[in-house]
Structure 1
Amino acid sequence: MEGIELAKKIGAEVVCVYVAKENQNSEFEFSDGKPQSWPTAKEYEEAVNHAAEQFMQPLRESAEAGNVKFTSETFISNTTAGYIVYAAEKNGCDLIYMASRGYTGWENFFMGGVASKVLAASQIPVLVYKVKKEQVPKKAKTYISPRI
Protein backbone atom coordinates (compact mmCIF):
# COMPACT_ATOMS: atom_id res chain seq x y z
CA MET A 1 0.00 0.00 0.00
CA GLU A 2 2.99 2.29 0.48
CA GLY A 3 3.51 2.34 -3.28
CA ILE A 4 -0.06 3.50 -3.83
CA GLU A 5 0.46 6.25 -1.24
CA LEU A 6 3.63 7.40 -3.01
CA ALA A 7 1.84 7.43 -6.37
CA LYS A 8 -0.97 9.51 -4.85
CA LYS A 9 1.48 12.04 -3.39
CA ILE A 10 3.35 12.59 -6.63
CA GLY A 11 0.42 12.23 -9.04
CA ALA A 12 1.69 9.03 -10.64
CA GLU A 13 -0.12 6.08 -12.20
CA VAL A 14 0.40 2.50 -11.01
CA VAL A 15 1.06 -0.56 -13.15
CA CYS A 16 0.89 -3.60 -10.87
CA VAL A 17 2.78 -6.65 -12.13
CA TYR A 18 2.09 -10.24 -11.07
CA VAL A 19 4.41 -13.00 -12.32
CA ALA A 20 3.65 -16.67 -11.61
CA LYS A 21 6.07 -19.50 -12.14
CA GLU A 22 5.47 -21.71 -15.15
CA ASN A 23 3.03 -24.61 -14.73
CA GLN A 24 3.38 -25.30 -11.04
CA ASN A 25 0.90 -27.39 -9.15
CA SER A 26 1.09 -28.57 -5.56
CA GLU A 27 -1.22 -31.56 -5.94
CA PHE A 28 -0.24 -34.74 -7.71
CA GLU A 29 -1.83 -38.14 -7.78
CA PHE A 30 0.94 -40.43 -8.94
CA SER A 31 0.18 -43.85 -10.32
CA ASP A 32 2.75 -45.52 -12.50
CA GLY A 33 4.98 -42.49 -11.99
CA LYS A 34 2.83 -40.10 -14.05
CA PRO A 35 0.99 -37.10 -12.62
CA GLN A 36 -2.78 -37.54 -12.92
CA SER A 37 -3.92 -34.05 -11.97
CA TRP A 38 -1.60 -31.71 -13.85
CA PRO A 39 -3.60 -28.75 -15.21
CA THR A 40 -3.83 -27.99 -18.88
CA ALA A 41 -2.17 -24.79 -20.06
CA LYS A 42 -5.57 -23.08 -20.22
CA GLU A 43 -6.58 -24.27 -16.73
CA TYR A 44 -3.29 -23.09 -15.31
CA GLU A 45 -3.56 -19.69 -17.01
CA GLU A 46 -7.10 -19.26 -15.64
CA ALA A 47 -5.92 -20.20 -12.13
CA VAL A 48 -3.00 -17.76 -12.33
CA ASN A 49 -5.27 -14.95 -13.54
CA HIS A 50 -7.64 -15.68 -10.64
CA ALA A 51 -4.76 -15.66 -8.12
CA ALA A 52 -3.43 -12.40 -9.61
CA GLU A 53 -6.84 -10.73 -9.29
CA GLN A 54 -7.12 -11.82 -5.65
CA PHE A 55 -3.60 -10.56 -4.93
CA MET A 56 -4.18 -7.23 -6.65
CA GLN A 57 -7.68 -6.55 -5.30
CA PRO A 58 -6.59 -4.70 -2.11
CA LEU A 59 -4.11 -2.66 -4.15
CA ARG A 60 -6.76 -1.82 -6.75
CA GLU A 61 -9.18 -0.76 -4.00
CA SER A 62 -6.52 1.41 -2.34
CA ALA A 63 -5.74 3.05 -5.69
CA GLU A 64 -9.43 3.72 -6.37
CA ALA A 65 -9.86 5.22 -2.89
CA GLY A 66 -6.87 7.51 -3.54
CA ASN A 67 -7.98 8.38 -7.09
CA VAL A 68 -4.82 6.80 -8.52
CA LYS A 69 -4.99 5.27 -12.02
CA PHE A 70 -4.31 1.54 -11.67
CA THR A 71 -3.63 -1.00 -14.40
CA SER A 72 -2.30 -4.51 -14.09
CA GLU A 73 -0.17 -6.99 -15.99
CA THR A 74 -0.07 -10.75 -15.33
CA PHE A 75 2.60 -13.06 -16.72
CA ILE A 76 3.55 -16.72 -16.44
CA SER A 77 7.31 -17.11 -16.51
CA ASN A 78 10.25 -18.45 -14.55
CA THR A 79 12.06 -15.14 -15.14
CA THR A 80 10.17 -12.91 -12.73
CA ALA A 81 12.65 -10.03 -12.78
CA GLY A 82 12.77 -9.99 -16.57
CA TYR A 83 9.02 -9.65 -16.83
CA ILE A 84 8.89 -6.90 -14.21
CA VAL A 85 11.40 -4.91 -16.26
CA TYR A 86 9.58 -5.78 -19.50
CA ALA A 87 6.24 -4.56 -18.10
CA ALA A 88 7.81 -1.32 -16.88
CA GLU A 89 9.38 -0.64 -20.28
CA LYS A 90 6.23 -1.64 -22.19
CA ASN A 91 4.09 0.71 -20.10
CA GLY A 92 6.54 3.64 -20.24
CA CYS A 93 7.14 3.64 -16.49
CA ASP A 94 9.50 6.20 -14.98
CA LEU A 95 10.13 4.20 -11.79
CA ILE A 96 9.91 0.60 -10.67
CA TYR A 97 8.71 0.52 -7.07
CA MET A 98 8.89 -2.88 -5.46
CA ALA A 99 8.76 -4.43 -2.05
CA SER A 100 11.44 -6.78 -0.82
CA ARG A 101 11.42 -9.17 2.11
CA GLY A 102 15.19 -9.09 1.96
CA TYR A 103 16.48 -12.62 1.75
CA THR A 104 19.80 -12.92 3.53
CA GLY A 105 22.60 -15.39 3.88
CA TRP A 106 22.65 -18.61 1.90
CA GLU A 107 19.12 -18.17 0.58
CA ASN A 108 20.10 -14.96 -1.23
CA PHE A 109 23.45 -16.41 -2.33
CA PHE A 110 21.85 -19.42 -4.04
CA MET A 111 18.54 -17.95 -5.20
CA GLY A 112 19.25 -14.26 -5.57
CA GLY A 113 16.45 -11.90 -4.74
CA VAL A 114 14.04 -10.70 -7.39
CA ALA A 115 14.73 -7.10 -6.34
CA SER A 116 18.47 -7.49 -6.90
CA LYS A 117 17.83 -9.05 -10.32
CA VAL A 118 15.52 -6.18 -11.28
CA LEU A 119 18.15 -3.67 -10.11
CA ALA A 120 20.75 -5.38 -12.30
CA ALA A 121 18.54 -5.66 -15.39
CA SER A 122 16.64 -2.38 -15.43
CA GLN A 123 17.56 0.87 -17.16
CA ILE A 124 14.61 2.41 -15.31
CA PRO A 125 15.29 3.64 -11.75
CA VAL A 126 14.25 1.12 -9.09
CA LEU A 127 13.01 2.01 -5.61
CA VAL A 128 13.03 -0.97 -3.24
CA TYR A 129 10.80 -0.78 -0.18
CA LYS A 130 12.06 -3.00 2.62
CA VAL A 131 9.02 -4.76 4.05
CA LYS A 132 8.96 -4.90 7.83
CA LYS A 133 8.59 -8.31 9.40
CA GLU A 134 5.12 -7.51 10.75
CA GLN A 135 3.96 -6.43 7.26
CA VAL A 136 4.69 -9.81 5.67
CA PRO A 137 1.41 -11.72 5.44
CA LYS A 138 1.31 -15.10 7.13
CA LYS A 139 2.21 -17.66 4.53
CA ALA A 140 -0.82 -19.48 3.26
CA LYS A 141 -0.48 -22.67 1.32
CA THR A 142 -0.79 -21.76 -2.32
CA TYR A 143 -2.99 -24.21 -4.14
CA ILE A 144 -3.92 -23.91 -7.77
CA SER A 145 -6.54 -26.46 -8.61
CA PRO A 146 -6.67 -27.81 -12.13
CA ARG A 147 -10.46 -27.77 -11.88
CA ILE A 148 -11.10 -24.09 -11.07
Structure 2
Amino acid sequence: MFKKILIPTDGSALATQAALEGIDYAKRVGAEVICVYVAGENQATAFAFSPHAKQEVHWPTDSEYKQIVAETSKAIMAPVLQAASDAGVKFSEETDISKSPSASILAAAEKNGCDLIFMASRGNTGWEKVLLGSIAAKVIASSPIPVLVYKVQKDQLPKYADYFPEV
Protein backbone atom coordinates (compact mmCIF):
# COMPACT_ATOMS: atom_id res chain seq x y z
CA MET A 1 0.00 0.00 0.00
CA PHE A 2 1.57 3.34 1.02
CA LYS A 3 5.24 3.38 1.91
CA LYS A 4 6.04 7.09 2.43
CA ILE A 5 3.49 9.53 3.78
CA LEU A 6 4.00 13.29 3.82
CA ILE A 7 2.28 15.04 6.72
CA PRO A 8 2.25 18.85 6.56
CA THR A 9 1.59 20.75 9.78
CA ASP A 10 1.33 24.39 10.76
CA GLY A 11 1.23 23.74 14.49
CA SER A 12 -2.45 24.49 14.91
CA ALA A 13 -4.50 22.12 17.06
CA LEU A 14 -6.32 20.91 13.94
CA ALA A 15 -3.11 20.20 12.00
CA THR A 16 -1.52 18.55 15.03
CA GLN A 17 -4.56 16.32 15.53
CA ALA A 18 -4.43 15.35 11.84
CA ALA A 19 -0.68 14.70 12.10
CA LEU A 20 -1.20 12.42 15.09
CA GLU A 21 -3.89 10.54 13.17
CA GLY A 22 -1.46 10.37 10.23
CA ILE A 23 1.12 8.73 12.47
CA ASP A 24 -1.49 6.19 13.57
CA TYR A 25 -2.39 5.52 9.92
CA ALA A 26 1.29 5.13 8.98
CA LYS A 27 1.73 2.57 11.75
CA ARG A 28 -1.27 0.57 10.52
CA VAL A 29 -0.02 0.45 6.91
CA GLY A 30 3.69 0.11 7.75
CA ALA A 31 4.73 3.41 6.17
CA GLU A 32 7.36 5.94 7.12
CA VAL A 33 6.47 9.61 7.67
CA ILE A 34 8.01 12.82 6.44
CA CYS A 35 6.58 15.77 8.36
CA VAL A 36 6.89 19.24 6.83
CA TYR A 37 6.37 22.70 8.30
CA VAL A 38 6.17 25.62 5.86
CA ALA A 39 6.57 29.14 7.24
CA GLY A 40 5.70 32.29 5.33
CA GLU A 41 8.49 34.44 4.00
CA ASN A 42 10.02 37.14 6.19
CA GLN A 43 7.95 40.23 5.41
CA ALA A 44 10.23 42.83 7.00
CA THR A 45 11.31 44.49 3.78
CA ALA A 46 7.72 44.92 2.66
CA PHE A 47 7.27 47.51 5.40
CA ALA A 48 10.63 49.27 5.15
CA PHE A 49 9.27 51.90 2.75
CA SER A 50 6.44 52.98 5.03
CA PRO A 51 6.81 56.45 6.57
CA HIS A 52 4.56 55.21 9.38
CA ALA A 53 6.93 52.43 10.42
CA LYS A 54 8.54 53.16 13.76
CA GLN A 55 12.29 53.31 13.44
CA GLU A 56 12.85 51.48 16.74
CA VAL A 57 11.01 48.42 15.47
CA HIS A 58 13.48 45.61 14.83
CA TRP A 59 12.48 43.37 11.97
CA PRO A 60 14.39 40.11 11.98
CA THR A 61 17.21 39.71 9.52
CA ASP A 62 17.00 36.74 7.17
CA SER A 63 19.32 34.69 9.38
CA GLU A 64 17.37 35.63 12.52
CA TYR A 65 14.13 34.72 10.78
CA LYS A 66 15.51 31.35 9.64
CA GLN A 67 16.57 30.64 13.24
CA ILE A 68 13.09 31.57 14.56
CA VAL A 69 11.46 29.33 11.94
CA ALA A 70 13.78 26.42 12.80
CA GLU A 71 12.98 26.76 16.52
CA THR A 72 9.26 27.04 15.80
CA SER A 73 9.40 23.98 13.56
CA LYS A 74 11.09 21.90 16.28
CA ALA A 75 8.42 22.91 18.80
CA ILE A 76 5.57 22.25 16.38
CA MET A 77 6.89 18.84 15.38
CA ALA A 78 7.76 17.68 18.92
CA PRO A 79 4.38 16.03 19.66
CA VAL A 80 4.34 14.42 16.20
CA LEU A 81 7.90 13.14 16.61
CA GLN A 82 6.97 11.75 20.03
CA ALA A 83 3.90 9.99 18.63
CA ALA A 84 6.00 8.49 15.81
CA SER A 85 8.62 7.31 18.29
CA ASP A 86 5.96 5.78 20.54
CA ALA A 87 4.37 4.04 17.53
CA GLY A 88 7.68 2.80 16.10
CA VAL A 89 7.14 4.77 12.87
CA LYS A 90 10.22 5.94 10.96
CA PHE A 91 10.06 9.75 11.03
CA SER A 92 11.91 12.58 9.36
CA GLU A 93 11.17 16.26 9.27
CA GLU A 94 11.63 19.18 6.93
CA THR A 95 11.16 22.92 7.26
CA ASP A 96 10.67 25.37 4.43
CA ILE A 97 10.09 29.10 4.06
CA SER A 98 7.85 29.96 1.14
CA LYS A 99 5.19 32.27 -0.28
CA SER A 100 3.24 29.21 -1.35
CA PRO A 101 2.72 26.51 1.30
CA SER A 102 0.89 24.29 -1.18
CA ALA A 103 3.79 24.40 -3.66
CA SER A 104 6.26 23.62 -0.86
CA ILE A 105 4.14 20.68 0.31
CA LEU A 106 3.99 19.25 -3.22
CA ALA A 107 7.73 19.80 -3.73
CA ALA A 108 8.52 18.00 -0.45
CA ALA A 109 6.31 15.07 -1.46
CA GLU A 110 8.05 14.79 -4.82
CA LYS A 111 11.56 15.20 -3.40
CA ASN A 112 11.00 12.47 -0.81
CA GLY A 113 9.21 10.04 -3.13
CA CYS A 114 6.02 10.12 -1.09
CA ASP A 115 3.01 8.18 -2.29
CA LEU A 116 0.41 9.86 -0.01
CA ILE A 117 -0.15 13.28 1.52
CA PHE A 118 -2.09 13.13 4.80
CA MET A 119 -3.23 16.58 5.86
CA ALA A 120 -5.80 18.60 7.74
CA SER A 121 -8.24 21.05 6.34
CA ARG A 122 -8.97 24.16 8.38
CA GLY A 123 -12.57 24.12 7.24
CA ASN A 124 -12.72 27.80 6.36
CA THR A 125 -16.14 28.77 5.08
CA GLY A 126 -17.81 31.79 3.56
CA TRP A 127 -15.72 34.91 3.08
CA GLU A 128 -12.82 33.42 5.01
CA LYS A 129 -12.50 30.69 2.35
CA VAL A 130 -12.88 33.17 -0.51
CA LEU A 131 -10.28 35.56 0.90
CA LEU A 132 -7.75 33.07 2.28
CA GLY A 133 -8.22 30.16 -0.09
CA SER A 134 -7.50 26.65 1.01
CA ILE A 135 -4.07 25.10 1.12
CA ALA A 136 -5.67 21.65 1.16
CA ALA A 137 -7.75 22.48 -1.93
CA LYS A 138 -4.65 23.71 -3.77
CA VAL A 139 -2.71 20.57 -2.82
CA ILE A 140 -5.60 18.33 -3.91
CA ALA A 141 -5.97 20.17 -7.22
CA SER A 142 -2.27 19.97 -8.08
CA SER A 143 -1.09 16.72 -6.51
CA PRO A 144 -0.08 13.82 -8.73
CA ILE A 145 -0.38 11.50 -5.71
CA PRO A 146 -3.38 10.76 -3.46
CA VAL A 147 -4.23 13.30 -0.76
CA LEU A 148 -6.09 12.20 2.33
CA VAL A 149 -7.75 15.17 4.03
CA TYR A 150 -8.41 14.48 7.67
CA LYS A 151 -11.48 16.27 9.03
CA VAL A 152 -11.99 16.63 12.75
CA GLN A 153 -14.78 18.47 14.50
CA LYS A 154 -13.38 21.59 16.15
CA ASP A 155 -15.25 20.83 19.38
CA GLN A 156 -13.34 17.51 19.58
CA LEU A 157 -9.95 19.19 19.53
CA PRO A 158 -7.95 19.33 22.73
CA LYS A 159 -6.88 22.76 23.86
CA TYR A 160 -3.71 24.10 22.27
CA ALA A 161 -2.02 23.88 25.67
CA ASP A 162 -2.51 20.11 25.66
CA TYR A 163 0.01 19.90 22.81
CA PHE A 164 2.32 22.65 24.01
CA PRO A 165 1.99 22.88 27.81
CA GLU A 166 4.79 25.45 28.08
CA VAL A 167 2.76 27.99 26.04
TM-score range normalised by the length of the shorter chain = 0.7 to 0.9
Matched, 1:54 2:75: yes
**TM-score of the aligned structures, taking structure 2 as reference length:** 0.75
2:34 equivalent in structure 1: 15
Q: CA deviation at 1:39?
A: 0.5
Structure 1 spans left out of the alignment, 5+ residues: 140-148
Corresponding residue number in structure 1 for 2:62: 41
Aligned equivalents of 2:158, 2:109: Cα separation in 1:
24
List runs of 5+ in structure 2 lacking aligned partners: 1-19, 162-167
When structure 1 is superposed on structure 2, of 91-100 and 104-113 the one drifting more is 104-113
Counterpart amino acid of residue 67 in structure 2: E
Aligned residue pairs, count = 136
Structure 1 residue 110 displacement after superposition: 1.9
What percentage of aligned pairs have identical amino acids? 51
Residue 71 of structure 2 aligns to a residue whose secondary structure is: helix
- SS in structure 2 of the partner of residue 63 of structure 1: helix
Larger helix fraction of residues: 2
Report what 2:6 is aligned to.
none
Shift of the 120–32 alpha-carbon distance from structure 1 to 2, 3 Å rule, reads: closer
Could you tell me whether the CA contact under 8 Å between 1:101 and 1:132 is conserved in 2?
A: no
Question: Is the deviation greater in 15-24 or in 43-52?
Answer: 15-24
Question: What is the TM-score normalised by the length of structure 1?
Answer: 0.84
- Inter-partner Cα distance in structure 1 for 2:75 and 2:105: 19
User: 1:1-148 to 2 correspondence within 5 Å?
Assistant: 1-24=20-43, 33-35=53-55, 36-134=57-155, 135=157, 137-138=159-160
